[in-house]
Amino acid sequence: MQRSRFGWLSATFLVIANMIGTGIYTTTGFIVAELPAGMGVLGLWVLGGLIALGGALSYAELAKRYPRSGGEYHFLRTLYHPFLGYLAGLVSLVAGFAAPIAASAYTFAAYLPLPLTEFHRKLAAAGLIVVLIGIHMLGLSRSARIQNVFVLLKISLLLALIIGALSASGEPQELACPRWSLDTLQVAAVSLIFISFAYSGWNAAAYIMSEIPDARRIVPRAIVAGTLIVMGLYVAFNWALLRYVPIHELSGQPAVGRLLAHHLWGAKGEAIFGWGVSIAMVSSVSAMLMIAPRVASVMGEDYALLRGLAHRTEQGVPLRALLVIGALAWIFIFSASFDAVLNYIGFTLSLFAGLTVLGLFLRHRGEKGLPWDLGLLFLLLTVWMVFNNLWSRPWESLAGLITLAALGSSYLWLRR
């Protein structure tokens, strides 16, 4: 089996690839519709970044103490009980990876500036998954080099929009401060949920720790560095956006990135932006196809009935697990059900991440160096997100919990 040369740069780029998606190009328009004050919106993106950093710092501490692939599956299994880790692993594979892979692959096809029918978009999405599976079959080191190129292109798109807006002619917009009230705080709290989704993915490197030499040192640095880089890009993009595009044009706009590109470069700019987002989605799909099979592989190492998923090729690729994840993503693409999956069990991803960070503080509360301030801020938002989901979508949440219980029952079968 080949030895992985997956270093700090590739681990950091994996975090960036997993974090930067379409959320940064869509979220601000919906927030502005409820909070038409540029400084308030920008402040929420800063706060959202600090909350993500709280989660990242907490996972960095966990990575130092429990250096094994699997992410929440491994952490919850170690911190609490194997059953909780098993549940987190199953939900991650379905709602955390397979469904988002399908969604990101479809977004890749949807943003292509080509006259594609709905069926042809799905074919393009499925084709992207097949091509990337082929690339990942080459081994982690080779696929990481290709992945890094697409991450650089993804970063370049954001930088081009930021620099283009900052260097554009015209009078910049003044960033107004919001009038604080109870209603404003409620809007801000809900907006933070959407912003936190745009920041999600900072835990990517924790899922493949066993593949990374000197993981105790490299993974914590990669998680924190990747999160800080994305936070800087997100805040800079929103500052440029709010300074250049009038607030009334942004209000309710579902594609502020496309709007900014049109303002900067006209119709050609929109086409360039479409290609740019499509290229950015390639790295997102690639990152999840890199991570998900390794979570499944670790689960295969721990449970005899899943042992087939732990099989590795000579290149060290968990091929069977990779094909299973790809097949699940295909099913979601052609059944168009990934939105339903994300809606009714996706919120449990936040629940498991919160339990993971809570486990760090409970198990190691007497130790020095824990990120108590930002970590507790992360936990506070997580609790709010879970309860908001239960309150606003009670039936979907109930269905999600029932599904979770059904998935949990398979644990007893696996232990036989």
Give the pLDDT confidence of 371-396 residue by residue, as tens digits.
999 999 999 988 988 888 788 778 87
> Nearest Cα to 383, choosing from 355, 414, 341, 413?
355
pLDDT band for position 4 (cuts 50, 70, 90): low
Q: pLDDT for 298-351, tens place per residue?
A: 999 998 889 999 999 988 899 999 999 999 999 999 986 666 766 667 778 888
Q: Which residues of 333-353 are buried (b: 16+ CB within 10 A; e: fewer)?
A: beeeebeebbbbbbbbbbbbb
Residue 37 near residue 348, CB atoms below 8 Å: no
Residue tagged 């690639």 (tokens): 286
pTM of the model: 0.91
Please check whether residue 227 is in contact with residue 371, taking contact to mean a CB–CB distance below 8 angstroms.
no
Helical (H) or strand (E) element with 250 = helix 247-250
- What structural domains and CATH numbers belong to the chain? 8-414 (1.20.1740.10)
Q: Name all contacts of 357-364 with Cβ < 8 Å and 24+ positions apart.
A: 357/54, 357/55, 357/58, 357/59, 357/382, 359/75, 359/76, 359/79, 359/80, 360/58, 360/61, 360/62, 360/79, 361/58, 362/79, 363/79, 364/61, 364/65
pLDDT in tens, 260-313: 898 888 888 888 888 999 999 999 999 999 999 999 999 999 988 899 999 999
Two tokens, residue 416 = 């036989």
Tens-place pLDDT, residues 69-114: 999 999 999 999 999 999 999 989 988 899 899 989 998 998 888 8
* Count of beta carbons in the 10 Å neighbourhood of residue 123: 15
